[in-house]
Amino acid sequence: MQVISDIPLLRQQRREWQNNGRVIAFVPTMGNLHQGHLNLVREAKKHADEVVVSIFVNPMQFGPDEDLEAYPRTLERDALLLEELGVSLLFVPKVADIYARGLEQQTFVEVPGISYMICGASRPGHFRGVATIVCKLFNMVQPNLAFFGEKDFQQLQVIKAMVTDLSMNLQVFGVPTTREDDGLAMSSRNQYLTAQQRLIAPILYAQLQALVASIKQGRRDFSKLVSACKAHLLEHGFSPDYIEVRAAQTLMPPSHEDTDLVILAAAFLGKTRLIDNIQFQF
Ligand code: AMP
Protein backbone atom coordinates (compact mmCIF):
# COMPACT_ATOMS: atom_id res chain seq x y z
CA MET A 1 0.00 0.00 0.00
CA GLN A 2 1.33 3.41 -0.95
CA VAL A 3 0.96 6.15 1.66
CA ILE A 4 0.96 9.53 -0.06
CA SER A 5 0.60 13.07 1.32
CA ASP A 6 1.73 14.88 -1.77
CA ILE A 7 -1.09 15.87 -4.15
CA PRO A 8 0.99 15.77 -7.40
CA LEU A 9 2.21 12.26 -6.50
CA LEU A 10 -1.40 11.14 -5.99
CA ARG A 11 -2.35 12.57 -9.39
CA GLN A 12 0.58 10.76 -11.01
CA GLN A 13 -0.61 7.40 -9.64
CA ARG A 14 -4.16 8.23 -10.67
CA ARG A 15 -3.03 8.89 -14.28
CA GLU A 16 -1.13 5.62 -14.40
CA TRP A 17 -4.19 3.65 -13.26
CA GLN A 18 -6.39 5.46 -15.74
CA ASN A 19 -3.99 4.66 -18.60
CA ASN A 20 -4.22 1.00 -17.62
CA GLY A 21 -8.04 1.05 -17.53
CA ARG A 22 -8.26 0.42 -13.79
CA VAL A 23 -11.55 1.17 -11.99
CA ILE A 24 -10.87 3.33 -8.94
CA ALA A 25 -12.99 3.42 -5.79
CA PHE A 26 -12.57 6.06 -3.12
CA VAL A 27 -13.43 5.97 0.60
CA PRO A 28 -12.95 9.33 2.34
CA THR A 29 -12.57 9.19 6.14
CA MET A 30 -11.31 11.18 9.10
CA GLY A 31 -9.36 8.16 10.34
CA ASN A 32 -9.45 6.39 13.70
CA LEU A 33 -10.82 3.51 11.72
CA HIS A 34 -13.35 1.00 13.04
CA GLN A 35 -15.26 -1.86 11.42
CA GLY A 36 -17.76 0.62 9.93
CA HIS A 37 -14.99 2.26 7.91
CA LEU A 38 -13.45 -1.11 7.05
CA ASN A 39 -16.79 -2.36 5.73
CA LEU A 40 -16.87 0.60 3.35
CA VAL A 41 -13.44 -0.50 2.11
CA ARG A 42 -14.59 -4.12 1.76
CA GLU A 43 -17.60 -2.97 -0.26
CA ALA A 44 -15.40 -0.72 -2.41
CA LYS A 45 -13.07 -3.62 -3.15
CA LYS A 46 -15.97 -5.64 -4.57
CA HIS A 47 -16.58 -3.00 -7.23
CA ALA A 48 -13.14 -1.71 -8.17
CA ASP A 49 -9.59 -2.65 -9.16
CA GLU A 50 -7.93 -0.05 -6.94
CA VAL A 51 -9.20 1.35 -3.63
CA VAL A 52 -8.02 4.73 -2.40
CA VAL A 53 -8.75 5.71 1.21
CA SER A 54 -8.16 9.22 2.51
CA ILE A 55 -7.62 10.21 6.11
CA PHE A 56 -8.10 13.90 6.72
CA VAL A 57 -9.56 15.52 9.83
CA ASN A 58 -11.23 18.38 8.01
CA PRO A 59 -11.18 21.62 10.04
CA MET A 60 -13.78 23.20 7.77
CA GLN A 61 -16.57 20.87 8.95
CA PHE A 62 -16.02 21.43 12.69
CA GLY A 63 -17.82 24.24 14.50
CA PRO A 64 -15.85 26.59 16.80
CA ASP A 65 -16.91 24.69 19.96
CA GLU A 66 -16.54 21.19 18.52
CA ASP A 67 -13.89 18.51 18.98
CA LEU A 68 -11.40 19.28 16.16
CA GLU A 69 -8.36 19.24 18.46
CA ALA A 70 -9.53 16.25 20.52
CA TYR A 71 -10.58 14.16 17.50
CA PRO A 72 -8.67 10.84 17.79
CA ARG A 73 -5.76 10.51 15.37
CA THR A 74 -4.34 6.98 15.01
CA LEU A 75 -2.61 7.01 11.64
CA GLU A 76 -0.15 4.15 12.18
CA ARG A 77 -2.82 1.71 13.31
CA ASP A 78 -5.19 2.86 10.57
CA ALA A 79 -2.51 2.29 7.92
CA LEU A 80 -1.93 -1.27 9.15
CA LEU A 81 -5.65 -2.08 9.00
CA LEU A 82 -5.97 -0.70 5.48
CA GLU A 83 -2.87 -2.52 4.29
CA GLU A 84 -4.32 -5.79 5.60
CA LEU A 85 -7.49 -5.19 3.58
CA GLY A 86 -5.52 -4.69 0.36
CA VAL A 87 -6.06 -0.96 -0.08
CA SER A 88 -3.88 0.37 -2.93
CA LEU A 89 -3.28 3.90 -1.72
CA LEU A 90 -3.75 5.79 1.54
CA PHE A 91 -3.95 9.53 0.94
CA VAL A 92 -3.15 11.67 3.99
CA PRO A 93 -3.03 15.27 2.80
CA LYS A 94 -1.82 18.12 5.00
CA VAL A 95 -4.16 20.92 6.11
CA ALA A 96 -1.75 23.50 4.64
CA ASP A 97 -1.93 21.84 1.21
CA ILE A 98 -5.70 21.34 1.25
CA TYR A 99 -6.44 24.89 2.39
CA ALA A 100 -3.44 26.55 0.75
CA ARG A 101 -5.00 30.04 0.73
CA GLY A 102 -6.35 29.67 4.27
CA LEU A 103 -9.80 28.63 5.47
CA GLU A 104 -11.15 32.19 5.36
CA GLN A 105 -10.37 32.53 1.65
CA GLN A 106 -11.43 29.01 0.70
CA THR A 107 -13.90 28.67 -2.18
CA PHE A 108 -16.74 26.52 -0.92
CA VAL A 109 -19.42 24.16 -2.14
CA GLU A 110 -22.83 24.49 -0.58
CA VAL A 111 -25.79 22.27 -1.32
CA PRO A 112 -28.73 24.49 -0.38
CA GLY A 113 -31.88 23.29 1.35
CA ILE A 114 -30.82 19.87 2.47
CA SER A 115 -27.68 21.27 4.16
CA TYR A 116 -29.62 23.63 6.41
CA MET A 117 -32.10 21.23 8.00
CA ILE A 118 -31.82 18.63 10.79
CA CYS A 119 -28.06 18.14 11.49
CA GLY A 120 -27.33 21.22 9.38
CA ALA A 121 -29.53 23.33 11.64
CA SER A 122 -27.71 22.06 14.74
CA ARG A 123 -24.27 22.42 13.16
CA PRO A 124 -24.32 25.55 10.94
CA GLY A 125 -21.70 25.34 8.20
CA HIS A 126 -21.04 21.65 8.81
CA PHE A 127 -22.35 20.38 5.47
CA ARG A 128 -20.63 23.23 3.62
CA GLY A 129 -17.39 21.94 5.10
CA VAL A 130 -18.25 18.36 4.17
CA ALA A 131 -19.32 19.18 0.59
CA THR A 132 -16.24 21.34 0.04
CA ILE A 133 -13.71 18.77 1.25
CA VAL A 134 -15.41 15.89 -0.56
CA CYS A 135 -15.51 17.94 -3.78
CA LYS A 136 -11.80 18.77 -3.40
CA LEU A 137 -10.89 15.14 -2.66
CA PHE A 138 -12.94 13.99 -5.67
CA ASN A 139 -10.98 16.45 -7.83
CA MET A 140 -7.70 15.06 -6.51
CA VAL A 141 -8.50 11.33 -6.55
CA GLN A 142 -10.89 11.45 -9.54
CA PRO A 143 -12.49 8.14 -8.59
CA ASN A 144 -14.99 6.21 -10.68
CA LEU A 145 -16.87 5.17 -7.53
CA ALA A 146 -17.12 6.61 -4.02
CA PHE A 147 -18.39 4.92 -0.85
CA PHE A 148 -20.10 6.58 2.12
CA GLY A 149 -21.80 5.22 5.23
CA GLU A 150 -25.56 5.37 5.72
CA LYS A 151 -24.71 6.07 9.37
CA ASP A 152 -24.32 9.69 8.23
CA PHE A 153 -27.55 9.58 6.26
CA GLN A 154 -27.93 13.29 5.68
CA GLN A 155 -24.28 13.60 4.65
CA LEU A 156 -24.83 10.87 2.05
CA GLN A 157 -27.82 12.78 0.65
CA VAL A 158 -25.80 16.02 0.55
CA ILE A 159 -23.00 14.27 -1.37
CA LYS A 160 -25.42 12.66 -3.81
CA ALA A 161 -27.07 16.04 -4.43
CA MET A 162 -23.67 17.69 -4.97
CA VAL A 163 -22.60 15.01 -7.46
CA THR A 164 -25.85 15.44 -9.41
CA ASP A 165 -25.89 19.24 -9.27
CA LEU A 166 -22.26 19.63 -10.31
CA SER A 167 -22.45 16.87 -12.96
CA MET A 168 -19.58 14.99 -11.36
CA ASN A 169 -18.55 11.92 -13.30
CA LEU A 170 -18.69 9.28 -10.59
CA GLN A 171 -21.11 6.92 -8.87
CA VAL A 172 -21.89 7.27 -5.15
CA PHE A 173 -22.66 4.17 -3.07
CA GLY A 174 -24.24 4.10 0.41
CA VAL A 175 -23.18 1.30 2.75
CA PRO A 176 -25.38 0.13 5.67
CA THR A 177 -24.43 1.14 9.20
CA THR A 178 -22.12 -1.21 11.07
CA ARG A 179 -23.19 -1.69 14.69
CA GLU A 180 -21.76 -3.04 17.91
CA ASP A 181 -23.41 -6.24 19.20
CA ASP A 182 -25.71 -4.18 21.41
CA GLY A 183 -26.91 -2.08 18.47
CA LEU A 184 -24.84 1.08 19.02
CA ALA A 185 -23.73 2.50 15.66
CA MET A 186 -19.94 2.38 15.47
CA SER A 187 -18.34 5.81 15.61
CA SER A 188 -14.93 7.23 16.36
CA ARG A 189 -16.69 9.43 18.90
CA ASN A 190 -17.95 6.44 20.95
CA GLN A 191 -14.59 6.33 22.71
CA TYR A 192 -15.39 9.68 24.36
CA LEU A 193 -18.12 7.86 26.35
CA THR A 194 -17.53 6.90 29.98
CA ALA A 195 -18.16 3.26 30.92
CA GLN A 196 -21.53 4.26 32.35
CA GLN A 197 -22.52 6.26 29.26
CA ARG A 198 -21.42 3.39 27.01
CA LEU A 199 -23.96 1.15 28.76
CA ILE A 200 -26.73 3.66 28.11
CA ALA A 201 -25.73 4.53 24.52
CA PRO A 202 -27.53 1.62 22.73
CA ILE A 203 -30.86 2.96 24.02
CA LEU A 204 -30.77 5.55 21.24
CA TYR A 205 -30.99 2.86 18.53
CA ALA A 206 -33.50 0.85 20.59
CA GLN A 207 -35.75 3.92 20.77
CA LEU A 208 -35.52 4.45 17.01
CA GLN A 209 -36.45 0.81 16.46
CA ALA A 210 -39.47 1.23 18.75
CA LEU A 211 -40.50 4.32 16.77
CA VAL A 212 -40.24 2.43 13.49
CA ALA A 213 -42.35 -0.40 14.96
CA SER A 214 -45.08 2.05 16.02
CA ILE A 215 -45.20 3.67 12.58
CA LYS A 216 -45.29 0.27 10.88
CA GLN A 217 -48.25 -0.61 13.13
CA GLY A 218 -50.11 2.33 11.62
CA ARG A 219 -49.39 5.27 13.94
CA ARG A 220 -49.20 8.56 12.00
CA ASP A 221 -49.05 10.98 14.92
CA PHE A 222 -45.33 11.48 14.35
CA SER A 223 -44.92 14.48 16.65
CA LYS A 224 -46.54 12.65 19.55
CA LEU A 225 -44.35 9.60 18.95
CA VAL A 226 -41.24 11.75 18.73
CA SER A 227 -42.09 13.62 21.94
CA ALA A 228 -42.53 10.33 23.80
CA CYS A 229 -39.22 9.09 22.40
CA LYS A 230 -37.41 12.28 23.50
CA ALA A 231 -38.94 11.98 26.98
CA HIS A 232 -37.71 8.41 27.19
CA LEU A 233 -34.20 9.42 26.16
CA LEU A 234 -34.18 12.25 28.71
CA GLU A 235 -35.17 9.78 31.43
CA HIS A 236 -32.15 7.67 30.53
CA GLY A 237 -29.74 10.59 30.72
CA PHE A 238 -29.58 11.70 27.07
CA SER A 239 -30.04 15.29 25.96
CA PRO A 240 -31.85 14.83 22.65
CA ASP A 241 -30.81 17.27 19.93
CA TYR A 242 -33.35 16.20 17.29
CA ILE A 243 -35.49 13.25 16.32
CA GLU A 244 -37.14 13.61 12.94
CA VAL A 245 -39.32 11.42 10.76
CA ARG A 246 -38.63 12.39 7.15
CA ALA A 247 -39.07 11.25 3.55
CA ALA A 248 -35.87 9.32 2.84
CA GLN A 249 -35.17 10.80 -0.60
CA THR A 250 -35.77 14.49 0.14
CA LEU A 251 -35.43 14.62 3.94
CA MET A 252 -38.58 16.76 3.92
CA PRO A 253 -41.47 16.06 6.34
CA PRO A 254 -43.31 13.11 4.76
CA SER A 255 -46.53 13.55 2.84
CA HIS A 256 -49.24 10.87 2.86
CA GLU A 257 -47.84 9.44 -0.39
CA ASP A 258 -44.30 8.96 0.98
CA THR A 259 -43.62 5.33 1.81
CA ASP A 260 -39.81 5.46 1.93
CA LEU A 261 -39.10 7.04 5.32
CA VAL A 262 -36.14 7.65 7.57
CA ILE A 263 -35.96 8.47 11.26
CA LEU A 264 -32.92 10.58 12.05
CA ALA A 265 -31.69 11.29 15.55
CA ALA A 266 -28.93 13.07 17.40
CA ALA A 267 -28.55 13.09 21.16
CA PHE A 268 -25.87 14.06 23.60
CA LEU A 269 -24.61 11.78 26.34
CA GLY A 270 -22.59 14.19 28.40
CA LYS A 271 -20.48 16.06 25.86
CA THR A 272 -20.58 13.27 23.29
CA ARG A 273 -22.99 13.74 20.42
CA LEU A 274 -24.32 10.47 19.02
CA ILE A 275 -26.21 10.24 15.74
CA ASP A 276 -28.17 7.38 14.26
CA ASN A 277 -30.95 6.70 11.79
CA ILE A 278 -33.18 3.95 10.42
CA GLN A 279 -34.51 3.94 6.88
CA PHE A 280 -37.67 1.89 6.36
CA GLN A 281 -40.67 1.33 4.11
CA PHE A 282 -44.24 1.13 5.26
P1 AMP B 1 -15.78 9.58 9.37
O2 AMP B 1 -14.37 9.08 9.50
O3 AMP B 1 -16.56 9.52 10.63
O4 AMP B 1 -15.85 10.89 8.64
O5 AMP B 1 -16.50 8.53 8.42
C6 AMP B 1 -15.98 8.19 7.17
C7 AMP B 1 -17.01 7.38 6.42
O8 AMP B 1 -17.30 6.21 7.18
C9 AMP B 1 -18.33 8.12 6.21
O10 AMP B 1 -18.84 7.81 4.93
C11 AMP B 1 -19.19 7.56 7.32
O12 AMP B 1 -20.57 7.61 7.01
C13 AMP B 1 -18.71 6.12 7.35
N14 AMP B 1 -19.03 5.49 8.64
C15 AMP B 1 -18.73 5.94 9.88
N16 AMP B 1 -19.23 5.12 10.83
C17 AMP B 1 -19.88 4.13 10.16
C18 AMP B 1 -20.62 2.97 10.57
N19 AMP B 1 -20.80 2.68 11.85
N20 AMP B 1 -21.14 2.18 9.59
C21 AMP B 1 -20.96 2.47 8.29
N22 AMP B 1 -20.28 3.55 7.84
C23 AMP B 1 -19.75 4.36 8.76
Tens digit of pLDDT for each residue in 219-248?
999 999 999 999 999 999 999 999 999 999
Q: Is 218 left (phi over 0), alpha (psi -120 to 50) or beta?
A: left
- 221 and 131 co-located in one domain: no
Looking at ligand 1, which atom is closest to the CA of residue 33?
Answer: 2
- Residue 64, SS3? coil
Q: Whose CA is nearest to atom 13 of ligand 1?
A: 149
Ligand 1 pocket test target in 151, 186, 272, 274 with most atoms within 8 Å of CB: 151
Q: Which residues are catalytic?
A: 37
Residues with CB under 6 A from ligand 1: 29-30, 36-37, 39-40, 148-149, 151-152, 175, 177-178, 185-188
- 142 and 249 co-located in one domain: no
Count of domains in the chain? 2
Helices (H), the chain: 7-19, 35-47, 75-85, 95-98, 119-122, 126-141, 153-165, 195-200, 203-216, 222-235
Looking at ligand 1, which atom is closest to the CA of residue 155?
Answer: 12
Taking the model in full, what pTM does it have? 0.98
Tens-digit pLDDT profile for the chain (282 aa)?
A: 999 999 999 999 999 999 999 999 999 999 999 999 999 999 999 999 999 999 999 999 999 999 999 999 999 999 999 999 999 999 999 999 999 999 999 999 999 999 999 999 999 999 999 999 999 999 999 999 999 999 999 999 999 999 999 999 999 999 999 999 999 999 999 999 999 999 999 999 999 999 999 999 999 999 999 999 999 999 999 999 999 999 999 999 999 899 999 999 999 999 999 999 999 998
- 214 and 141 co-located in one domain: no
- For residue 272, what is the domain's CATH number? 3.30.1300.10
| DSSP 8-class letter at 253 | P
Residue 59 lies in a domain: yes
What digits encode the pLDDT tens for the residues 91-135?
A: 999 999 999 999 999 999 999 999 999 999 999 999 999 999 999
d(CA 10, CA 150): 27
- For residue 45, what is the domain's CATH number? 3.40.50.620
- 215 and 255 co-located in one domain: yes
Q: Which domain holds residue 209?
A: 188-276
- From 145, 175, 205, give the residue that closes a domain: 175
- From 127, 144, 175, give the residue that closes a domain: 175
- 150 and 37 co-located in one domain: yes
d(CA 72, CA 227): 34
- Rounded to the nearest angstrom, the distance between the alpha carbon of 149 and the centre of ligand 1 is 5
